[in-house]
Structure 1
Amino acid sequence: MKKLLPLIAFLLLQSCQYFEKNVPNEKDLLEKQMKEIDWKEVDEYPSVTDCEKLTDKELQKQCFFDFLTATIQEKLAVDTLSSLFPKLDTIEVKVTVFPNSMLEFEPQFPQDSVAYDTIKIDSILKARLVDFPQINPAIKRGIPVKTQFVLPVIIKQE
């Protein structure tokens, strides 16, 4: 037994070389990770407190978009936008949610929008679209990120 123990120890120490593997350098590893990341998709969409109760990712996303569209429509319903521009029934609004939960709204007009006073519409939107509830930013790999999307907002006719 005493002769067998040093032989086993020697074999164990010699077998470690078979487990050595080439470790990739950090640059190659970083490149590989960067290629695997889908930069067009986020892990968690922006949300509000009411929508965070939902567990399904798609339902949470739809809840957030519905909430935001309804809130924008509600804020614009009080204004004279529909009386100033009676032919304007829908405005597409580019919404930007920054990592610090700040919001930015920018109306998107078609190329042939000379019929509308885009500067006036933009100023009305900026004046009305303030004091939003707390919006939690989108999350990508555990980090809050900036997201942008375009929402069609129907202007209610009175």
Structure 2
Amino acid sequence: MNKILVLLVFFSFQSCQFFDKKVPDEKELLQQELKKINWKEVDQWPSFVECDSISDKENQRNCFYQMMTSQLQEKLRDDSIAKLFPQLDSIQVKVTIFSDSKVKFEPIISDSITLDRMQLDSIFQLSLADFPKVNPAIKRGIPVKTEFQLPIVLNK
């Protein structure tokens, strides 16, 4: 009986040590986890329906960029851009894909080129109004906003 009592006393002292440990602060744990996340990379690239079936991340990214570039070139090879801005044979386009799948396109023009920027913006908006649906990028299971720039050849 004494042996059982000694064992019970030993285990009760040992188990008390578990309660003495400090519980980590929730905010501190959150900050530690946030520091571990690479916010410059996404888990899944934005995509078009045609690229969704590709499982390899690098191939999916390539498919997305090829589709985006070809769609932009097709829609921006408009006679109005060529007539109004003959000095533009290519243009940089800033593309923003929002978490709700909305897409925003902004032409990036060098300050050395004098253009009517409002007119160019308006042509962009009209030409790209019916742009195909783009699924947003995913980070940790959540749709996120992404931005990038693409060079687009206007005149071939």
- Matched position secondary structure for 1:66: helix
1:153 paired residue number = 152
Q: CA–CA distance in 2 between the matches of 1:29 and 1:93?
A: 40
Task: Give the Cα–Cα distance (whole angstroms) in 2 for the partners of residues 49 and 40 of structure 1.
Answer: 24
1:82-115 residue CA offsets vs partner (Å, 9 max, x unmatched): 233222111111111111101111111112121x
Unaligned runs of 5+ in 1: none
Name the SS of the counterpart of 1:131 in structure 2.
Answer: coil
Moved over 4 A (4+): none
Show CA shifts across 1:45-87 (max 9, x none).
Answer: 2111211211221211111111011011111224331233222
Q: CA deviation at 1:121?
A: 1.6
Structure 2 residue 143 is the aligned partner of structure 1 residue 144:
yes
RMSD over equivalenced CA pairs, Å: 1.8
Taking structure 2 as the reference length, the TM-score comes to 0.88
Paired position in structure 2 for 1:9 = 8
Q: For structure 1, which segment, 72-81 or 87-96, has the greater mean C-alpha deviation from structure 2 after superposition?
A: 72-81
Unaligned ranges ≥5, structure 2: none
How does 1:1-150 map onto structure 2 within 5 Å? 2-20=1-19, 21-114=21-114, 116-150=115-149
Matched position secondary structure for 2:92? strand
Distance 2:144 2:90 in 1: 29
Q: Name the SS for the 2:41 alignment partner.
A: coil
